[in-house]
Structure 1
Amino acid sequence: MKRILNIKNIFNTALIILFLVLLFVPSAKAMLLKGLIKAGFFSPDTSEASAGRLPVSDLSGIQFKDINGKIVDLGDLKGKIIFLNFWATWCPPCLAEMPAVNKLYEKFGNDNDVVFILADADGNLVKSQKFMNRKKFGLPVYAIASEMPEILFQGSLPTTVVFDKQGRIAYHEAGAANYGSPKFIAFINRLKTTN
């Protein structure tokens, strides 16, 4: 019996249990990723080289619908900075980055020059709004209401796209990142002052 209950076996069993929890419990995975985001492991690359100011031929016709059925067309938002995030309530990296996205929203949500669109990839606005309410996030949720160009979204969650005032892609990233960081806040402020 002593052989079975040695420290090595107890440690290995605990490690296996932890691995299984992280593998099968999305909220545990999200909590781990959230900690890594806070520690600075997922810092968004906002350098000019990574952005490339990719042009999208025309944002008109790229539409999203809110929970009340109101349609937002990206073409109507020219002259504004658009923070577009594709996410889902079942996606651990999405859930992990949401507090940082909410921090960014708290900073710029009342700014008329910055628009936030959190597009639920599943289109289940009732479920996503309940999630936002439960977490006390003020983020506006939308469903995709038109064809989505592949340059914006290829199905990876989360995916975040930031458009500058001219409608050019200033930032595009698939994967979780810390959007509430001082570096990213400074990036948005730079976009506000440039044409």
Structure 2
Amino acid sequence: MKIPQKKILSNSIALLLFAFILAMLISPRFKAKIIAGLMNLGLFQPDVSDVRPQQGIPAGYPIHFSTSDGQHFTNESFRNKVVFINFWATWCPPCIAEMPAINDLYAKLKNNPNILFLLVNADKDPKKAAEFIKGKKFQMPVAVSQSTIPATWYKGTLPTTVVLDKNGNIVYRHEGTANYSSRQFREFLQGLLK
């Protein structure tokens, strides 16, 4: 008995689709690569066209951070600087997918002393986060929070990106993946310095 070509083709497509879905569910790396590929196609662009400053956190509300090399600092060091903050985790595929774009943005702006980058690891393990970043050959500074993050910054969704202006006001907040390496986003950050 000969099996029809159409049946072989449809079964093959169904099997490939099943394997693809299974890989998406099981492998965070595979999912991150798919999301990164979609970002490269132009999806997940951050929208900075209608940005209105929102109230920042109250003055005197200290948020403590620490790095893997033992440095400690607070949000008070952010004064008079534009700050790009990304909340992420090593196990989060969308976080991993957007990291190359964040690293590219960081590489282009890291020499500007008035723009700070801070990747806040939700795992609360600075050494593990630093090893992950180093293993991926990224250059971005990584920290963990040692105090409660205000809900105006982070509500628990990963990844979440927040941009603060020089006065500490939130001028951009996005939950989910975005391609931050675009010229438009870079110009948005630089424009906040004026």
Contact kept in structure 1, 2:66 and 2:126, CA below 8 Å: no
Name the residue aligned to 1:30.
32
Q: CA deviation at 1:132?
A: 1.1
- Find the partner of 1:40 among 15, 37, 42: 42
Q: CA deviation at 1:59?
A: 6.4
Q: Counterparts of 2:8 and 2:110 in 1: how far apart (Å)? A: 55
Counterpart mapping for 1:142-153 below 5 A = 142-153=143-154
Name the residue aligned to 2:126.
125
Name the residue aligned to 2:117.
116
- SS where residue 22 of structure 2 aligns? helix
Q: Counterparts of 1:3 and 1:151 in 2: how far apart (Å)? A: 60
**TM superposition outliers: structure 1 runs of 4+ over 6 Å:** none
Contact kept in structure 2, 1:81 and 1:113, CA below 8 Å: yes
Which residue type is aligned with residue 149 of structure 2? M
Which residue type is aligned with residue 160 of structure 1? T
Provide, for residues 117-153 of structure 1, a one-character-per-residue CA deviation record: whole Å limited to 9, x for no partner.
1000011111111111111110111011111111111
Q: Counterparts of 2:48 and 2:192 in 1: how far apart (Å)? A: 11
Q: Any gaps of 5 or more consecutive residues in structure 1?
A: none
Q: CA deviation at 1:52?
A: 2.2
| RMSD (Å), alpha carbons | 1.5
TM-score (norm 1): 0.93
Moved more, 98-107 or 75-84: 75-84
Q: Counterparts of 1:58 and 1:37 in 2: how far apart (Å)? A: 37
* Structure 1 residues 24 and 15: alpha-carbon distance in aligned structure 2, compared to 1, 3 A threshold: same
- SS where residue 14 of structure 2 aligns? helix
Name the residue aligned to 2:86.
85
* Structure 1 residues 45 and 37: alpha-carbon distance in aligned structure 2, compared to 1, 3 A threshold: same
* Structure 1 residues 123 and 2: alpha-carbon distance in aligned structure 2, compared to 1, 3 A threshold: farther
Name the residue aligned to 1:158.
159
Name the residue aligned to 2:179.
178
Q: Counterparts of 1:143 and 1:164 in 2: how far apart (Å)? A: 21
Q: Counterparts of 1:63 and 1:38 in 2: how far apart (Å)? A: 35
Confirm or deny that 1:52 pairs with 2:52: yes
Contact kept in structure 2, 1:88 and 1:122, CA below 8 Å: yes
Q: Count matched residues.
A: 191
TM-score (norm 2): 0.94
Provide, for residues 33-65 of structure 1, a one-character-per-residue CA deviation record: whole Å limited to 9, x for no partner.
001111111000112x3x320112226401211
Q: Any gaps of 5 or more consecutive residues in structure 2?
A: none
